[in-house]
Structure 1
């Protein structure tokens, strides 16, 4: 039986949302910054944790696709997605 990836979570410093990108050869720990969520996913500055996670969930398909592309281009144990990553993808 396959283990489920942990739910997305707000970083302790509140600068991003961490999530696991599950791939065939394992998982990659990823973070999308709050700055990127504000710039590209309509997150209001100073939003609550619940609102931040909702915004992340609403944009998850795009976020995960970009994380997967970045992981393929630059294999690493962890990936951070910033506003500049989304600017290049549009």
Structure 2
């Protein structure tokens, strides 16, 4: 199964802890998006080697900013998969 197979309502850790997958919506269009662990570590206070629970907490703490960046990317390139990296938050 790939991350594009199913839209999940709740954010979840994916790919052995390398990313958090979440859903963003713009103009009645929802898309599964992801944010890399490195982005959470560099910009959202995720400690290195943190467990999945802590990774989801870092995502939740920065969710409004993360989702806003994903939504802006969706508007710029509709239909393009959104995989946020640390560079998206610089």
Question: Is 1:55 aligned to residue 27 of structure 2?
Answer: no
Aligned residues: 83
Measured in 2, the distance between the counterparts of 1:32 and 1:12 equals 11
Structure 1 counterpart of 2:34: 31
Measured in 2, the distance between the counterparts of 1:82 and 1:74 equals 16
| 4+ residue segments displaced more than 3 Å | none
Question: Is 1:71 aligned to residue 62 of structure 2?
Answer: no
Measured in 2, the distance between the counterparts of 1:60 and 1:70 equals 15
Measured in 2, the distance between the counterparts of 1:13 and 1:40 equals 20
Q: CA deviation at 1:77?
A: 4.6
Measured in 2, the distance between the counterparts of 1:9 and 1:77 equals 20
* Normalised TM-score (structure 2): 0.85
SS at the partner of 1:45? coil
Structure 1 counterpart of 2:83: 80
Measured in 2, the distance between the counterparts of 1:75 and 1:26 equals 9
* Normalised TM-score (structure 1): 0.85
SS at the partner of 1:7? coil
5+ residue gaps, structure 1, are none
Maintained 8 Å contact 2:22/2:34: yes
